[in-house]
Amino acid sequence: MAYGRVLVTGASQGIGRAIAETMLAEGWGVVATCRAPDKLAPADRLDGVTYLAFEATDPQATAELARQAGEVDVLINNAGASPIGPAEEALPAKVREHFQLNLFSAIQLTQAILPGMRERRQGTVIFIGSMRSEAPSPFSSLYSASKAAIRSFAQCLRMEVEEYGIKVCVIAPIFIRTRLGQELLMRTGSPYAAAVDRVRASRARQIAAAAPAGVVARTVLSILRARRPRPLYFSGRFARLQGFLTQHLSRSGVEAIMARRFNLKG
């Protein structure tokens, strides 16, 4: 495996930090982004990593990040957020904000990095998606929809850039133990409040018992070591089994399993 320069977005904690740490240990030059590098806690800062500021909710921030990052051999689009709340009550401003963070920023950064990869006729673009793009998850409509869009975008892009030696993959983590917050998007007095509380508590329990973020970092290494990596990788505990069931069970069967898993009806 040839080593070069990797750019990881959203790398102050969780999956992004684990990827940055693993890539650094493997000998890669690592550029990592977070909202405010100067405010990054010492415990979250990795010696040897170059940190750049990136506010993914700002559409104007992408061009400056691409300029500062320079030549990138591997782009890992990881930055994102996972709000929770009823689809009916999602305010338009919040919908736009979360799609900018989870989807549009990744598309814009990829567009900015691709010309250099295409000219060098090599490179890898990895999108951190989610199992929730494959299976319905109650009160996760914004996150699930944005991650489903990421997968579709990546699949199309993969075919378009293959002739230039560029590889494109999506990793769909399955309940990884991180500090990714669950921003609550729900009106006061919402009729969905009781169900949201149950789902939120169930999700928190499953995350607390989930695999560590390092499993996703190891999936990244598997992709980089593969001569012809697959379009989609599931990552987490029992990832292959859960991925198989999600893709081969009937959609109504998957929906029923997810409803029980999240204690939707109490």
pLDDT of residue 253: 85
Residue 168 forms beta bridges with which residues? 125
Secondary element (H or E) of residue 97: helix 92-99
Q: Which amino acid is at 100?
A: Q
Q: How confident is the model over 137-161, as a mean pLDDT?
A: 96
Closest CA to 96 of 154, 136, 56: 56
Q: pLDDT digit string (tens) for 209-243? A: 889 999 999 999 999 999 999 999 999 887 777 77
Q: pLDDT digit string (tens) for 38-59? A: 999 888 899 999 999 999 989 8
Closest CA to 19 of 213, 237, 232, 210: 213
pLDDT beyond 90 at 261: no
Q: pLDDT digit string (tens) for 17-38? A: 999 999 999 999 999 999 999 9
pLDDT of residue 142: 95
Is residue 250 exposed (0-12), middle (13-18) or buried (19+ Cβ within 10 Å)?
exposed
Confidence grade of residue 12 (pLDDT, cut at 50, 70, 90): very high
Catalytic residues: 143
Which of 58-72, 132-146, 244-258 is least confident?
Answer: 244-258
Across the chain, which distance is largest between two alpha carbons, in Å? 56
Residue 99 Cα distances to 3, 76, 150, angstroms: 32, 18, 10
Residue 126 forms beta bridges with which residues? 76, 169
Confidence grade of residue 5 (pLDDT, cut at 50, 70, 90): very high
Calculate the CA dihedral of residues 11, 219, 126, 133 and round it to 10 degrees: -90
Closest CA to 107 of 172, 171, 152: 152
Closest CA to 197 of 132, 266, 260: 266
Q: pLDDT digit string (tens) for 111-144? A: 999 999 999 999 999 999 999 888 888 999 999 9
pLDDT of residue 181: 66
pLDDT of residue 53: 96
Q: How confident is the model over 243-255, as a mean pLDDT?
A: 82
Domains of the chain listed by start with CATH number: 5-261 (3.40.50.720)
pLDDT of residue 1: 59
Note the pTM of the prediction, 2 decimals. 0.94
Average pLDDT across the chain, whole number: 92
d(CA 138, CA 264): 7
d(CA 172, CA 181): 18
Supply the DSSP symbol for 93: H
Sequence-distant (6+) residues with CB within 8 A of 44 are 12, 13, 17
Sequence-distant (6+) residues with CB within 8 A of 256 are none
Q: What value, to the nearest 5°, has the Cα angle with vertex 71 and ends 69 and 73?
A: 105
d(CA 185, CA 39): 27
